[in-house]
Structure 1
Amino acid sequence: MKVQVERLLLQVNGLQLSLLQACPTDRRDQPTLILLHGFTGSALSWGSLLEEFASAGLRVIAFDLHGHGLSEAPAAPERYSMEHCQADLLAALRQLGIAPAEAILLGYSLGGRIALYCAFSGFFRALILESASPGIADPRERAARQRQDEELAASIEREGIAAFVARWEQLPLFASHQRLPEERRAALRAQRLTNRPQGLAGSLRGVGTGVQPPLHARLPELSLPVLLICGALDKKFCAIGKEMARLLPRATLAIVPDAGHTVHLEQPARFAGLVLSFCANLVPLRGQSPDATSGQ
């Protein structure tokens, strides 16, 4: 199937947001899947998954989040807040003609935290979270994380993107990336290096885990279908995923073998299968049979 991919720039609430849209060329009424990337990423981080999802019959919209990719990087940290992210994303979707209860929202890591917050708006049909959390419940831990994020933001501004990326790649969270082919790691590094100090620092200060509102107590209220995806090698987020699955009324947890924090990068075929099977339970897709996605 032919797929058309285009770059769009939207003005929403005084801010420019950039996105990639991938659509089957022979359909105009396809269901919509929204993608939100992680910290240091962009719409390009999803790679060939955009075309794969679109080939299955989905209209795919992948945003560059605030301060990332080609989206604007405001100077004020509060402009990156969860509240502003939600307002801007919903305004952008309305500009694109997407109605409430129509789109499925997928977020990875930072994008997953934003997606979970946005899911409480009632705008979305279903939710997919990859390696995401509801925040930090303990106030002392949250304050400590906010201090850490401030220190990291200041170091990015002081030392620049290249020094930051070199340190970021060495985090234990991304140890499983060493298993990836060198060309894939090089492409990931090149994408991260396109970021701007002001954008990443603003994101850490405005929507970092230390400042976001913790959502643990609200999870039982979220009645829409939720797919939780995490990598078996990422023990921390597997534990978070299990706890979220316990609290969410309509959640399915999928733990993917031989993957760490970035399941969509480390096991793209398995990730795509989980996402498309989940979507096929909600909307008709080409070549997809509705069946339950289950944990391992």
Structure 2
Amino acid sequence: MASEVLKKGGEVTSEVWGETRGFDFEGMRFGVKAWRASAPDARKGGALSVPIVLVHGFAQQASTWDKVALSLSRTGVECFAFELAGHGAGACSAGGDPAERPDFFDLCFQARALLAFCRVVARDAGVAPVLVGYSMGGRVALQAACLAADDLRDGGDLDRTALRSSAAFAPRGRERRLDAVAGDLWDGDQFGRISLRSSAAFAPCDRTDRLDVTGVGQRDTAATSAGDAVRMPAAVPFSALVLESAGLGPADDAAREALRERNFAWAARVRDEGVSAFMDWWAGLPLFESQRNLDDDQRERLRAGRLANDAESLALSFEQAGAHQMPLRCESIRALCELSRRGVPVSYLAGRLDAKYCEVLANLRADSQGAVSCRVVPAAGHNIHLEQSEAFNAILGEVVESCTPEPAAP
């Protein structure tokens, strides 16, 4: 059920936006919210639409995608919002203390979990999802892309790193079995835990090879053929990648050290001041200036979401998954170009009012030599999907349409 209205005393009090799910990966429980397509035959011929996996930003939860996901689900697109470590319904382990397992907040660990989740969605849906990451979520999605690109270069195959069952995300109360997959899945209040085995190891995260974008404007002939839809390379569990206002990594080791010092200072600040005081300061950063133009209800929802976090989880997110933990910028761009060359389209979005990430976009456009689709969204700041949701949905709709296979001829 994509949406249900709850009533009390004859008045509408709230609306449930999607179903609460979850995904356990190597001891870490990640919260998940699912919006089933409410118009499965909306596309001509009833073709299977590519689903979307959405990853939120720092101090947010799956609910940041409510408006986007509900709108898309009404057009026949299934959406799944993946919650990062220590955010939303996620916990380090059942009832665990985040300080006891800081490794769960590690950028590479979360990226591997995200890849495993995308494989579950792909097997269940019969088609790989579009992966969308905003800000910090874009950082995790980009790290996942780097791992996937490494796997491609090393001759990786889906059987080596992938899930082997399609029986995921069945409706509540329905018994399910999964065999030899990487993670544990639970469903709402059922807590029907399913034992899943780990996948093979991924390639190392910190490659320092020089950026080479030769031929990035061309698609791999093995991935495309005349008259056929582009097929997803076996080692990549997503059909397309969309990065929204996401950093691409430090330019060099000096920049990495500067980012590390900044992020550890922010971690100390949130521990010392507490979540409320820290978030008052955070909301006042120039990066979020355009959000002051949101209506009162939107700003209140945004603040409530930020306050629904604990200080230690936020601090660990800075320390273990901050921008200083990313591959070098040249390596990130090389990975994006590799995916594009192999037939996985990559898009980068920035809001016109977000000067910092418009500059990131401009540099990416130049350095990727056209391999990455770069789009500036008018009248939007850092959070495009909140500030200009209709424009954002239109872009995602285009990406989904481009990745969705045509229905088979009768």
Instruction: Normalising by structure 2, report the TM-score.
Output: 0.65
**Alpha-carbon distance in 2 for matches of 1:242, 1:209:** 19
1:157-236 alignment runs, 5 A limit: 157-217=271-331, 218=334, 219-223=336-340, 224-236=344-356
Q: Distance in 2 between matches of 1:100 and 1:156?
A: 43
Partner residue, 2:385: 264
Report the secondary structure of 1:65's partner residue: coil
Over residues 125-160 of structure 1, what are the superposed CA-to-partner deviations in whole Å (9 max), with x where a residue is unaligned?
111111012111121121111111111111211221
Deviation at 1:117, TM superposition (A): 1.7
CA RMSD after TM alignment: 2.1
Change beyond 3 A, Cα 1:25–1:232: closer
Q: Is the 8 A contact 2:38 2:73 kept in 1?
A: no
Residue 88 of structure 1: aligned partner: 113
Q: 1:70 to 1:189 in 2, by over 3 A?
A: same
1:237 to 352, 357, 363: 357
> Take 2:403 and 2:118, find their aligned partners in 1: how far apart are those partners?
20
Which residue among 250, 255, 265 is the counterpart of 1:151? 265
> SS where residue 102 of structure 1 aligns?
coil
Identity of aligned residues (%): 33
Q: Could you tell which deviates more after superposition, 269-278 or 3-12? A: 3-12
Structure 1 stretches lacking a partner, 5+ long: 286-296
1:1-296 to 2 correspondences below 5 Å? 3=2, 5-25=18-38, 27=40, 29-73=48-92, 74-75=98-99, 76-96=101-121, 97-98=123-124, 102-120=128-146, 121=148, 122-217=236-331, 218=334, 219-223=336-340, 224-248=344-368, 250-283=371-404
Contact 1:3 1:24 in 2 (8 A): yes
Structure 2, gaps ≥5 residues long: 4-17, 42-47, 93-97, 149-235
- 1:95 Cα shift? 4.2
TM-score by length of 1: 0.89
Per mean C-alpha deviation after superposition, the further-off stretch among 90-99 and 136-145 is 90-99
The structure having more radius of gyration, on CA atoms, is 2
Q: Is the 8 A contact 1:81 1:212 kept in 2?
A: no
Would you say the 8 A contact 1:36–1:63 is kept in 2? yes
User: Distance in 2 between the 1:247 and 1:56 partners?
Assistant: 35
**Once the two structures are superposed, what CA deviation does each residue of 1:80-113 show, in whole Å capped at 9, x if it has no partner?**
2222012212233444545897111000011111
Secondary structure, counterpart of 1:200 in structure 2: helix
After superposition, the Cα gap between the structure-2 partners of 1:180 and 1:26, relative to the gap in structure 1 and judged at 3 Å, is closer
1:26–1:185 CA distance, 2 compared to 1 (3 A): closer
Aligned to 2:95: none
Q: CA offset at residue 275 of structure 1?
A: 1.3
